[in-house]
Amino acid sequence: MSISEPQTTSKEPEEKEAANQISPAVFKKLEDMGLDGELTSDQILHIEADLDAHGRWGKRYLVATPQRLIVLSEKENGHNRGKKIRIKRDDGNELVIDLNVPLEQIERTEAKKMVGASSIEVQLKSTFANSNGAPNGNGAHAPSSIVEVVRASAALDKTIEHTAHQIEHLRKHGVLEEADASDESSWVRETCPRCGRAYPEGSHICAFCSNKWMAMARLLSYLKPYSWLVAANLLSSLVAIGLSFAPSFAIAYLTDKVFPNPTQILNGFVATAANYRALWVAIAAIILAQLFSMVANIIHGRGVASLGTSVLHDIRTELYGHLQHLSIAYFDKREVGSIMTRVQNDVQMLQNFLLDGVESIIVSALTVTIVLIFMFSTSWQLALAVLIPVPFVVGATKHYWNGLMRLWRRVWHQNSLLGARLADTLGGVRVVRAFAQEDREAKRFIGKSGQLRDATKSVEQRAANFYPVLGFVMGIGSPITWFVGGYEVLAGTLTLGGLIFFTMLLGRLYQPIQQLTRMINVLTRAMTSAERVFEVLDTKSEVQDVKDAIAVPRLKGDVEFRHVSFGYDIHNMVLHDINFKVDEGQMIGLVGHTGAGKSTLINLLMRFYDVSEGAILVDGYDLREIRHNDLRRQIGVVLQESYLFHGSIFENIAYAKPGAKPHEVIEAAKAAYAHDFIVSFPDGYDSLVGERGMRLSGGERQRIAIARAILHNPRILILDEATASVDTRTEQQIQMALENLIRGRTTIAIAHRLSTLRNADKLIVIEHGRVKEEGSHDELMAAKGTFYDLVEAQQALNTIVTIGG
Amino acid sequence: MLGETKEATYLSTAQLEALSLQNGTLMWRAADGAESTVEAHCAFPLSYPDKYIVLRDPQDNELGIIETLATLKPEISDAIGEQLERRYFLPQIIKINKMTERFGSAIWDLETDRGRIVISTRQLNEAVRELGPSRFLVIDVDGNRYEIKELRELPPESQAHFIGR
C-alpha cells in the first residue's frame, strides 16, 4: 500500500465510490485546455499512478478519452525534493501536461511488467513521432517512438495491465470494453474505504477499522444452541467467585464480633460459649464455602471447555463444508496454501480465545465488579484511595506487555526458523554428506542458535523487569489501605474487621484488572480472526445452480461447444469461438501445443468455470441449466497425475461410489489391469496409499485412478494426459486399461503422445485458443497441416530418443 | 529463438565496442552489422546489482554477459545503469520515521531513496525477509519490496524501530 501522505487518507472513501471519476484538479486542468467536451463522454478511462516521472513516489494521472491520451503530473517544486516530504493535495499543486497524444496517432499500447513496478508504453505512429519529436515525460529515450507514459509500483500491476488493455480497446473500437462488475476486483487495487489502507490479499477485512462488535455479536450467535450451557456457566462462575469471598467475610466477622478488641482485653475479657460456637461456625462456613466453590469451579471449567469446543466445532464444520463448495475460481485467485494457513491460524486464534480468553475475561470482570461493590459498600473513601494505583497497573501492563508480546513473536519466529533449518539439513542429510558440508551446516546452525539465544535473552530480561515493577505498583495499594483505613479505624468510622476485609479484597482487585488489560489485545485479535473466518463463510460460489436447474439423472453423452469463448480474466481470452460436436459414445482427441487451451476446454466442460461467451450443450441442455450434482456425477476424469487420498487402495477405488461392494471394486480393478499388482502387495486391497502410505509407481497410481473411474461409471469421460508421466511399457498397460474404460462412453482425451489418439473418432487441433483443424487421424495426416507437422516433429524426436537412449 | 548456449559469454572489451548510444538508446551491432536495441537484466539483482549484467535483444536472445559495469565507458554504463534502475524497482530504506503495530498488521513510515512513503505490512515476522546478518527486505501487503542494505548504517532511532520488531 502506498499512502503518500497520511493526512489525506480520510479522503479515500469518496474517491473509492467514484473510482472512475476524474479528480477535480485534473478535471479543471483539462477543462482549462478546452477539453471539457470530451470529458462529458462516459467512455473515459482514468487512473492515478503512484510513481512520478523520475520513479519516485508521487502522483501521476492518465486520462484517456475516445479522442486522446493525456498524462499529467504535479509540477515539481525543486527545493522540496530530496528527503523533505511534499505535501500533496488534489487542489494545491499545479498540474503539468506530460503527454497529449491523439489516439489515432497511437500504433499500439502495451503494459510492461518490470521487477517491482510496471508501466504503460505506447508506440506512436512514425508521422506523429517525427513531427513532434518523441514526446517524453520521463527522461527515457526511445528511438522507435516507443514512449513510456506512466509507471506504477507493483501494487498497481493489475490496474496498469487493465488500463493498457482498455486504451487499446478505446483506440480500436472507440469505446471501453464492458467489464463485468464483479470482474473489477481483479484489477482494482482494493483498499479499505474507511482508512484507505490496502486489504490483505484475498480479504475484505481491514484489521484497523473493522467493527469488532459485529464480529463479536456474530460469534455470540453461535452460542444460541447452547444457551442452557451458557446460563449454567455464568451461574456457576458467579457462585464460585461469590463463595470465594466467604473467608474474607468470615474473618471480618470474627474480628469484629467474636474476638475481643483491645479495650475488652484490658477489661479482662472472658470468652463465652457463644464466642467459641461462633468461631466454629465461621470456620465451618469457610470450609463449606471453599468446598462449594470448588464444585462450582469444576462445573464452570467443564462448561467452558464444552462450550468453546462445541462452538469451534460448529464453525470448523461450517467452514470446511463451505470451502468444499466454493468454485474452483476462488481457489485459483488465491493460493490454496495461504487459504489453508489463514483459515487454520484464524481458527486456532479463535480456539485460544474461546477456551481461555472468554473464561479469563468473565472471571476477571465478575471479580472486579464484586470486589468494587464490596469495597464501596464498606467505605467509599477507602475504595477511592485504593483505586489510585489502577491507572498505573493498566498503563504498565499496556506498555510492557504489548511490547513484550511483540518481542516474543520475534523469538517464536526465530525459533521456527531454527526448526526449519534443522529439518532442512536433516532432510537433506545425504546432500550435506555428499558435499562434505557438515562443518558449515553446523556453523550455520550455531549462528542461528546464537541469534535465538540473544533474542530470547533480551525478551526474558525485559520480562524480568515487568513483574517486579508491576508487583511494586500493586504493592502500593497495601500501604494506602493501611494508611487511609488506619485513620478511619482510629477515627472510629471503620471497624478493624472492615479494614482486614478491605486488605483481603485488595489482593483480588489489581490482578484481574491487569488480566483484563491484557485481554483487550487478545480480544481484538480474536475478533479480527473471527471476521476473516466469517468472510470466507460469506463468500458465494461463483458457479451456482440456477433456480430451476434441470435434473438429468442419466445423460446420453452428446457434447457440443457452441461459439465458446473464455478467459480466466476478462482481458486475457484463452479460448476464442470454439465449435465442435461429440456424439454419444464417440471419442475425440484434443491436440495442440502446451498452453493452446486444451485443459481450459476441459475445465469448462467440468463446469469449474462458466464460459464467457457462447454455450456448452450436453444432451442439448445448456451446461449452466443442468443441476451441478447430476453433471459432476456423470463426468469422470483421469488426470496426468492422479491424486490418491490417504487410505487403502480399496477406499481409493471406491471413492467415486461410496458403499461399493468388494466384488465391484475387484471387477473395476481387473478392467483397469490393476488387480494383479494390487493382490501381490502384502496387504492387497487394504494396502495404504497416499501421502503417508506405500509408494506406488506412476503406472500403478494411474491404473488405480482408472479403476476408480470405471467404478464411477461416468457417461462422459475426460482423459487429461493420462499416459504422459509413464514409460512406454507401462503406457501400453494403461492404454489397455483405458480401452476398457472408454468403451461405450463419450470420451474427450488430451494426449501429448499423438500415437495414443490413433483410435479416436475425431481429432481437434487447437492452436492459440482456436480450432485449427478437425478430422480423423488419417484425414488430418493427408491434409498435411498442423497435425501432420506435430506428428512429424514427434516422430523425429522419438527417433533421436531411440538412437540416443 | 536460439537455444541456450552452453557456455557463458563474458563480453570482452573489444566485444563491448558493439554497444553504442543512439539518441540515448542503447544499441547493439551484431557481427553482420544488424542493429537492435538492448535490454539489460541483472543475473543477481540482490547480491550483485552492478555485476553480471545479461544483455538481451528484444527477442530475449542473450547477447552476452558484462562482468562488471565498472569497466565500461561512462556513458554506456550510465545508460545501462539507468535501464536497470527502471527495470528493478527496489526502494532503499534510509530512515524509519515510525513503526506501529496493531492486530497483526504494521504501519511503517519510511524515508526511501525514492521519497517518503507510508506502507502497511502483515505481521512483522512475515513481512521481513532476512538477506544477510544485517540486510533485510520488507515486503508490504501490495507485494512492493523495500530494502535495508545495511541496518547498522541507519540512524540509531530507525534501528531501534526495526529491532523492536
- Give tens-digit pLDDT for A273-284: 888 888 898 899
- Percent of chain B at pLDDT > 70 equals 89
The mean predicted confidence, pLDDT, of chain A is 79
What is the structure's pLDDT at B96? 92
Q: Which of A188-202, A347-361, A528-542, A699-713 has the highest mean pLDDT?
A: A699-713
**Cβ neighbours of A85 in B, within 8 Å:** 115-116
Average pLDDT over residues A673-679: 88
DSSP-assigned states of every residue in A609-631? S--SEEEEEETTEEGGGB-HHHH
B21, B25, B116: which to substitute to probe chain A, counting the most A Cβ within 10 Å? B116
Confidence of residue A805 (pLDDT cuts 50, 70, 90): very low
What are the distances in angstroms from CA A128 to CA A35, A125, A132?
20, 6, 6
CA distance A525 to chain B (A): 5
The CA distance from B138 to B143, in Å, is 9
Residue range B22-70, pLDDT digits in tens? 877 888 888 888 888 888 888 888 888 888 889 888 887 888 888 888 8
Q: What is the predicted pLDDT for the residue at B76?
A: 87
- In the prediction, which pLDDT does A139 show? 39
pLDDT band at A10 (very low <50, low <70, confident <90, very high): very low
Model confidence at B93: pLDDT above 90: yes
Judge: B37–A144 Cβ closer than 8 Å, yes or no: yes
Position A35 scores a pLDDT of 76
**Residue A528: which H helix or E strand, with range?**
helix A510-538
Closest-CA residue in chain A for B94? A83
Lookup result for grid cell 468455470: A609
Q: A528 to chain B: nearest residue by CA?
A: B103
B86 interfacial to chain A (CB closer than 8 Å): yes
**B114–A56 CB contact, under 8 Å:** yes
Q: How confident is the model at residue A802 (pLDDT cuts 50, 70, 90)?
A: low
User: Where does A549-631 show beta strands of DSSP type E?
Assistant: 559-569, 572-582, 587-591, 613-618, 621-622
Say what the pLDDT of residue A11 is. Answer: 35
Of A88, A83, A2, nearest in space to B95 by CA = A83
pLDDT at A194: 67
pLDDT tens for A62-102 read: 988 888 888 988 876 544 443 333 444 444 567 888 888 88
A34 contact B CB<8A: no
Between CA A84 and CA B99 the distance in angstroms is 19
Q: Which of B136, B6, B123 is nearest to B62 (CA)?
A: B6
pLDDT of A89 reads 44
Least confident span in A17-26, A513-522, A599-608, A717-726: A17-26
Contact A155 B124 (CB under 8 A): no
- What is the spatial distance between Cα B56 and Cα B67, in angstroms, rounded to a whole number? 14
Mutate to test the interface with A, among B113, B144, B145, B163 (most CBs of A within 10 A): B144
CA distance A472 to A474: 5
Q: Which grid cell sits at A539?
A: 463468500
Candidates A255, A257, A288; CA nearest to A274 is A257
Crossing angle between the packed helical segments A510-538 and A273-325, to the nearest 10 degrees: 20
Amino acid at A589: G
Nearest-by-Cβ selection for B122 from A154, A200, A524 = A200
Query: Does A298 or A144 have the greater pLDDT score?
Result: A298
- pLDDT band of A312, cuts 50, 70, 90: confident
User: What is the separation, in whole angstroms, between the first and last Cα of chain A?
Assistant: 54
Tens-digit pLDDT profile for residues A433-466 = 888 888 888 888 888 888 888 878 888 888 888 7
| Sign of the alpha-carbon torsion through A618, A620, A624, A629 | negative
Alpha-carbon span A720 to A734, nearest angstrom: 13
| Helices A273-325 and A358-378: angle between axes, nearest 10 degrees | 150
DSSP state of A244: T
Q: Is A112 helix (H, G, I), strand (E, B) or coil?
A: strand
Say yes or no: A335 contacts chain B, CB-CB below 8 A.
no
pLDDT of residue A656: 80
Task: Specify the pLDDT at position A210.
Answer: 63
Whole-number pLDDT of residue A144: 54
Residue-level pLDDT at A140: 39
- A202 with A343: CB under 8 angstroms? no
Give CA–CA dist A568/A586, Å, rounded. Answer: 29
Of A51, A155, A207, Cβ closest to residue B104: A207
How many C-beta neighbours within 10 Å does residue A171 have? 20
